[in-house]
Amino acid sequence: MKNKVVKRILSAVLAAALVVSLAACGSSGKTEDTKTDSTSNNTPDTENGSTEPSTDEKITLNVWHQWSNDTNELKKLYDAAAGEYMEQNPNIIINTQTLDTEAYKTKISAEFTGTASGIDVFYYWGAGTAKKLVNADKLLPLDDYITDEIKAKLLPGSTGAFIYDGKTYSLPSFSWYMTLFCNQELFDQAGAALPTTYDEMLAASQKLSQLEGVTPIAAGAKDGWNAAFVYQALAMREVGAENVNKMLKGEIPFGEDSGYKTAAEKVLELYKAGAFGKNPLESGNDDANSAFITGKAAMRIMGSWFANQVYTDDTATVNPEKVVALKIPMITGKGNESDYCGGFIESFWVNKNTKYADEAAKFAIYINEQMGKAAYETGTGFCGWNVDLDESKLNPLFVQIKDLAGAGQTSVLAWDTSLDANPATIHNEQVQTLFAPDADVDAFIGEHEAAINQ
Amino acid sequence: MDKMLGKKSYIAVFVLPALLIFVSFVMIPLLISGTYSLFEYDGIGKMRFLGLQNYIDMFTTDRYFPKAVVNSIVLVVASLFIQLPVSLVLALVLAHGVKGEKFFRTVYFVPVVISSMVIGQLWMKIFHSEYGLLNILISAITGSTFDYSWLSNSKTAFLSTVIPAVWQYIGYHMLIFYAGIKSISTEYYEAAQIDGATKWQTNMKITLPLLTPVIKTCVIFSITGSLRAFDLIYVMTGGGPNHASEVPATLMYNNLFRRGLYGYGSAQAFFIVIECLLFTFIISRIFRKSEENASAI
């Protein structure tokens, strides 16, 4: 009898424990999001102590960005800039949270299906990427906060990706520049000349492909955006940056200019000449970067950020002094030399539902400027602000790119950041089909027309 | 104990935790997905009601989805006619005592324990055009360099993902069969031995019929697993090149997270659920009769 009672009590307790623990899980779930991933820079300056009239209520701004790796230069510089901001504004606490790029994108999308109450300021991509958020009225226009003084500091033409319907939702931070990186040593070995035109690039590729174990151009085509870079570079030269921009904005249909088809044929021509090696779809971005910095590939078409890796990557065996940065080769008789791929796209934005619109907007503007400076000084990108910059630490390769970028006038952003998500994905996938023996250029154009000209 | 289970309130209390978890993590998300599937929705903006249009589009305007379904059926067939028979034979051999039984049991089970990401990487290396094991082997046999790229060629990409997918779970099904065989009473075998039955006869007349419920479980696992296959294919080819190795789950992932087509992606997700339920139901019906026979023994 006693035994039975004990059993009953035990079972009731067990069941209760289960229910309680489950309920606990449920309620803590909500707060969990804002607690995790918190980085350690919510340490307001303690030296100043409480001598300041800090009677004002402290305001905490939740800021999100995607430089999650502690070794990332930009993360360190962000942390320093945020720390300085808190020093200058003792009533504000910057609470920063980070996630890795892909997880970050998903997180931001998921948060903004609701009100994103845990986000005040966040890092994002302009043009086609943020358009969805602007259309859904999720972002705060910053026009009221952009003083003439700020306007005067902005580089001309750097705000295009942040203006929607005449309203400015963010300010530029730093830009990138698509570069043709060449390994001079391999060119010398193959007896090839550094290319300035497409025909020279094709000829050089043919010579380079004779070298044992060397891929003329590391395409990284397994990653769609890498493959797309090659096509976008040639299309920019064929069609001209201004025309490509009009197409991306939907002002003129894709395919109206026959240059899009010619560019596709040129990618295929390079593939057939063995310029990308035998199986370019087998290697992605990391493989291709690695092939270049270990001297297994002679050329790489990549953003300016790649320059840094040539110097800092532990596995690099290539002599950085023998790496030459060139602009995308011209196509004889077509395009403008001053056209380039790249531009301003990344920056910090403000959630429209933030409780502290004024403070968040001011911080967003501040951090955009600071990160622009930081990106430049570390040789990652080009600052969008006309401010004093420290050039002492720039690596020589980046200085080469800087000179190229200085001559640039009209830029085309990466297509997948300009287009909506669906056509952007189709574009990247379709370019990959050009890197295979059974490529069909007409189908390629047809797919693009169907996706882009909607 | 009987007394306790007789009281409805007790049953309710005991079932409640599991039921709560099941409802909140399975049923509710399923219903939400089902609802999304009736809308045009980009995940952030306004939702536009479409009715069943998403489901119609899957088989009319979508050029990749029907192919993906066919691919998943190929995977089902390969699982049923390659994976399960191999597992069964291995289980029979192991269960009837071979030297190093425990060792082999563990070895065959290793791929099940390893993450699909790792398996994917492993097989990508095997299929690699330059340093892949397969091409090196072919080169050695033929004496000339063979550098075919199995995974980046649309003709062989899907087949190259089917092989590891089938291979990976052989150990899993083998273990289930093995446990099933071990649980059959040895009396039957002793009686058969006295009657002079051969090994083949005991396997066919005793083991297999008594194993029917286990086989049914494995068939259901195998089919539903193939229909919703994702991780290995996603790692190895990502559905490419040019959608050649797409299965419904990789398309769904692409639509949901890359293209921002939440409504359409949800419809594909819901289709996979329905498909799996349907197959489970059909298999149960097919096996009902043979199970009755088995229990009659």
Q: How many residues does chain A have?
A: 454
Read off the pLDDT of residues B242-271 as tens digits, 9 standing for 90 and up: 899 999 999 999 898 888 888 999 999 999
Query: pLDDT digits over A3-26, tens only?
Result: 666 666 656 665 655 554 444 443
Higher pLDDT, B9 or A168: A168
pLDDT, tens digit (0-9, with 9 covering 90-100), for B209-224: 999 999 999 999 999 9
Strands A382-383 and A163-164: unpaired
| Amino acid A5: pLDDT | 64
HSE-up (13 A, CA, CB side) for residue A115: 6
Residue B37: pLDDT band (50, 70, 90) is very high
Nearest by Cα to A169 from A146, A136, A147:
A146
User: What pLDDT is stored for residue B295 in this prediction?
Assistant: 64
Percent of residues, chain B, with pLDDT higher than 90: 69
Mutate to test the interface with A, among B16, B22, B25, B42 (most CBs of A within 10 A): B42
A420 at interface of B, judged by CB pairs closer than 8 A: yes
Summarised one tens digit per residue, pLDDT across range A381-390 is 899 998 888 8
User: Cβ neighbours of residue A291 under 8 Å, at least 6 residues apart?
Assistant: A215, A218, A283, A297
Q: Identify the structural domains of chain A with CATH numbers, from first to last.
A: 2-6+25-173+346-394 (3.40.190.10), 179-327+419-452 (3.40.190.10)
Mean pLDDT of B116-143: 92
- Quote the pLDDT of residue B8: 83
DSSP strand E in chain B: where? 39-40, 48-49
Distance from CA of B43 to the nearest CA of A (A): 6
Cβ atoms of A180 and A327 within 8 Å: the answer is yes
Give the one of A280, A421, A438 whose C-beta lies nearest to B258's C-beta: A421
Write out chain B residues lying below 8 Å of A222, CB-based.
152
- Determine the pLDDT at residue A265: 96
Smallest CA–CA separation between B153 and chain A, in Å?
A: 7
Number of CB atoms found within 10 A of residue B229's CB: 23
Predicted local confidence at residue A25, as pLDDT: 44
Identify the band that residue A29 occupies on the pLDDT scale cut at 50, 70 and 90.
very low
Distance from CA of A420 to the nearest CA of B (A): 8
Q: pTM for the full model?
A: 0.82
Question: A432 touching B, CB under 8 A?
Answer: yes
Cα dist. A230→A303, A337, A434 in Å? 11, 17, 10
Phi and psi based region of residue A409 (left: phi greater than 0; alpha: psi -120 to 50; beta: remaining): alpha
pLDDT digits (tens, 9 = 90+) for A384-422: 998 888 888 888 999 999 999 888 888 999 998 899 888
Mutation for A interface: B64, B152, B255, B261, most A CBs within 10 A: B152
Q: How far off is chain B from A279, nearest CA to CA, in Å?
A: 6
Residue in B10, B44, B240 closest to A138 by CB: B44
- Beta bridge pairs of residue B258: none
pLDDT computed for residue A391 by the predictor: 83
The share of chain A scoring above pLDDT 90, in percent, equals 60
Residues of B in Cβ contact (< 8 Å) with A135: 45
Distance of CA A372 to the CA centre of its chain: 13
Q: What is the pLDDT of residue A184?
A: 96
> Between chains, do A281 and B261 touch, taking CB under 8 Å as contact?
no
Question: What confidence score (pLDDT) does residue A36 get?
Answer: 38
Q: Where is average pLDDT lowest: A15-29, B28-42, B125-139?
A: A15-29
Instruction: Determine the residue among B242, B250, B264 to mutate to test chain A binding: the one whose Cβ has the most chain A Cβ atoms within 10 Å.
Output: B242
Per-position DSSP letters for B130-153, written without gaps between them = TT-HHHHHHHHHHSS-----SSSS
Alpha-carbon distance of A211 to A194, in angstroms, equals: 16
Average pLDDT, chain B: 90
Contacts of B44 in chain A (CB under 8 A): 109, 112-113, 132-133, 136, 138
- Name beta bridge partners: A412: A341
pLDDT digit string (tens) for A34-85? 333 444 444 444 444 444 444 567 899 999 999 887 777 788 889 999 999 9
Contact status, residue A428 vs residue A416, Cβ threshold 8 Å: yes
What are the pLDDT digits (tens) for A149-198?
999 999 888 888 999 999 999 999 999 999 999 999 999 999 999 999 99
Test A278 with B129 for CB contact under 8 angstroms: yes
Q: ipTM score here? A: 0.82
Q: How far is A409 from chain B (nearest CA, A)?
A: 31
Question: What burial class does residue A33 get, using C-beta atoms within 10 Å of its C-beta: 0-12 exposed, 13-18 middle, 19+ buried?
Answer: middle
Chain B contact for A115 (CB, 8 A cutoff):
no
Nearest-CA distance B166 → chain A (Å): 23
- What is the C-alpha separation between A399 and A376, in angstroms, rounded? 10
Which chain B residue lies closest to A281 (C-alpha atoms)?
B152
User: A133 touching B, CB under 8 A?
Assistant: yes
**Residue A417 Cα, gap to closest chain B Cα (Å):** 12
Residue of A92 and B296 predicted with greater confidence: A92
Q: Per residue in A312-346, is it b (16+ CB within 10 Å) or e — as a string?
A: eeeebebeeeebbbbbbbbbeeebeeebbbbbbbb
Check if the beta carbon of residue A318 is closer than 8 Å to that of residue A92: no
Query: Would the CB atoms of B43 and A109 count as touching at under 8 Å?
Result: yes
Q: Is 90 exceeded by the pLDDT of residue A231?
A: yes
* Three-state DSSP class for residue A209: coil
Nearest Cα residue to B149 out of B128, B121, B123 = B128
Q: What is the pLDDT of residues A98-111, one digit of tens each?
A: 988 777 887 888 88
Q: Which of B17, B129, B147 sits opposite A19 (nearest CB)?
A: B17
pLDDT of B138 > 80? The answer is yes
- Say what the pLDDT of residue A3 is: 62
B29 touches chain A (CB under 8 A): no
